[in-house]
Structure 1
Amino acid sequence: MLTHSTARVLEPGDLDAALAVLDRDPVANAFVTSRVNVAGLDPWRLGGEMWGWYSAGRLTSLCYAGANLVPLCATPEAVRAFAERARRAGRRCSSIVGPAQSTADLWAQLEPHWGPAREVRAHQPLMTTRALPADVVPDPGVRRVRREEMDVLMPACVAMFTEEVGVSPLAGDGGLLYQARVAELVTNGRAFARIEDGEVVFKAEIGAVTRHTCQIQGVWVAPSHRGRGLAKTGMAAVLHYALRDVAPVVSLYVNDYNAPARAAYHRVGFTEVGAFMSVLF
């Protein structure tokens, strides 16, 4: 038993304690919780290390250190310890993302060593809903994407990612890893789209899934079809699937400057419950 404050890499035997921390904020922690539920804490399966902060011998804060660096339920003392560990290891992640306050504190301590960032998105509203909108008719053309439609879906996914993140997901390995992630979502029935004449005009995916919540990601309307209200009716359709088949709470986070998207999400019943922050490298 640890009797003092310390940070260390968690091991498979720490799984129950880690899940207890993650369950303290199931919406904000959904992304990492979903990975831990599948892979446990083994770094090879998890795709990164899970760092734990112990206070008076009890695990109280976490930080996922993989392709993203994600502070979770992190106290100021834990953030300082995580920042020191990250500084010593050197930057291996493509982004820092998580609840706004702890992410801002973590970045403030890492920026002198890791900066500058390519982009900092300091306020990304975190939104949830538990019910379908009463006054928005779901788009009946939005449905699950079939496996044989991967070639139709991928150009839309690449366009969305490039528009949202500012770099192409095809860089580096030619898009093999990104295509595998999209294929996994399609295989699991969590990719949705409206397809007209062989072209995706609206799409979204249900990414992270836990017993408490699921998180919608990758919402995109083809530029030539924007202004038709497809985001509103399309999101209502995806909500129908998510609430019926996946989880009792649906969440997402959005850039604060994306006024049309925020308006569409409010229109289908999402309300703000917090904020994320992303630091992109």
Structure 2
Amino acid sequence: MLTHTTTRVLEPGDLGAALAVLDSEPVANAFVTARVQAAGLDPWRLGGEMWGWYSEGRLRSLCYSGANLVPVCATPEAVRAFADRARRTGRRCSSIVGPAEATAELWRLLEPSWGPARDVRRHQPLMVAERPSADVAPDPLVRRVRKDEMDVIMPACVAMFIEEVGVSPMAGDGGLLYQARVAELVSSGRSFARVEDGKVVFKAEIGAATSKACQIQGVWVAPEYRGRGLSETGMAAVLRYALADVAPVASLYVNDYNTPARAAYRRVGFREVGAFMSVLF
């Protein structure tokens, strides 16, 4: 029995306790929950370690340490423990992302040894929707991307990634991991687009999905088509798919300075319920 506060790497036998923590905040934890439900806690399958913070013998906080470092239900004391472990192991991730308060404290503790970051986005509103707005009609031309359309969707995905993150996902391994991720979303029916004359003019994906919540990501409109309301009607269509086929709650997070996107999401039916923060390396 662990009687005091302690931190350790979780093992497959800790799955039930980990899922109980994740389930306490199903919307905020959708990304990590989806990974754990699909892969369990084995680091090789999970693509990283899951750190657990215990208090009085009970698992209370988590931190996913893989391509991203993600604090989960992390108390201030847990954040300090996770920061200590992260400093010892060294930076292996390309970003830190999670609920704004815990992520801000984690970054404050890690910046002296891990900094500087390439970009810090301190306030990214977390938005949710349980029903589509009646004010925006879904675009009838937005549909699931077919498996034989990888060559159609990939240029749009790469353009969106560069625009949003600031670097190309094709660097390093030649884009193998990124292409695999796009293919996974297409094959699972969670990639959506409006295609005109063989070109994507709007796209979005349901990047994480559990039985309780899903997370929409990668929303993008081709530059020459912007200003026509395609993001609103397109998102209305994706939201309808998400709520009908995937989960009862759809979420997303958006940069606070992207005022047009925040307004568009509100018109479609989303409301702000919290905030995330991202640190990009």
Q: TM-score, normalised by structure 1?
A: 0.99
Matched, 1:79 2:85: no
Give the match for residue 207 of structure 1.
Answer: 207
Task: Provide, for residues 205-228 of structure 1, a one-character-per-residue CA deviation record: whole Å limited to 9, x for no partner.
Answer: 001001110000000000000000
Superposition deviation, residue 58 in structure 1? 0.4
Give the match for residue 45 of structure 1.
Answer: 45
Superposition deviation, residue 189 in structure 1? 0.5
Taking the TM superposition and a 5 Å limit, the aligned residue runs for 1:212-231 are 212-231=212-231
Structure 1: tracts of 5 or more residues without a match: none
* Percent identical residues: 81
Task: Provide, for residues 7-45 of structure 1, a one-character-per-residue CA deviation record: whole Å limited to 9, x for no partner.
Answer: 000000000000000011111100000000000000000
Secondary structure at the counterpart of residue 177 of structure 1: helix
How far, CA to CA, are the matches of 1:163 and 1:25 in structure 2?
30
Matched, 1:16 2:25: no
Structure 2: tracts of 5 or more residues without a match: none
Matched, 1:172 2:164: no
Dislocated runs of 4+, deviation >2 Å: none
Superposition deviation, residue 172 in structure 1? 0.4
Q: TM-score, normalised by structure 2?
A: 0.99
How far, CA to CA, are the matches of 1:246 and 1:119 in structure 2?
32
Give the match for residue 117 of structure 1.
Answer: 117
What is the letter of the counterpart of residue 223 of structure 2? P
Matched, 1:152 2:152: yes
Task: Provide, for residues 51-94 of structure 1, a one-character-per-residue CA deviation record: whole Å limited to 9, x for no partner.
Answer: 00000110000000000000000001000000000000000000
Give the match for residue 280 of structure 2.
Answer: 280
How far, CA to CA, are the matches of 1:276 and 1:185 in structure 2?
23
How far, CA to CA, are the matches of 1:262 and 1:136 in structure 2?
15
What is the letter of the counterpart of residue 173 of structure 1? D
Superposition deviation, residue 259 in structure 1? 1.0
Superposition deviation, residue 260 in structure 1? 1.2
What is the letter of the counterpart of residue 137 of structure 2? V
Q: What is the aligned-residue RMSD (CA, Å)?
A: 0.5
Task: Provide, for residues 176-212 of structure 1, a one-character-per-residue CA deviation record: whole Å limited to 9, x for no partner.
Answer: 1100000010000000000001110000000100111
Superposition deviation, residue 135 in structure 1? 1.7
Superposition deviation, residue 263 in structure 1? 0.9
Give the match for residue 62 of structure 2.
Answer: 62
Give the match for residue 239 of structure 1.
Answer: 239
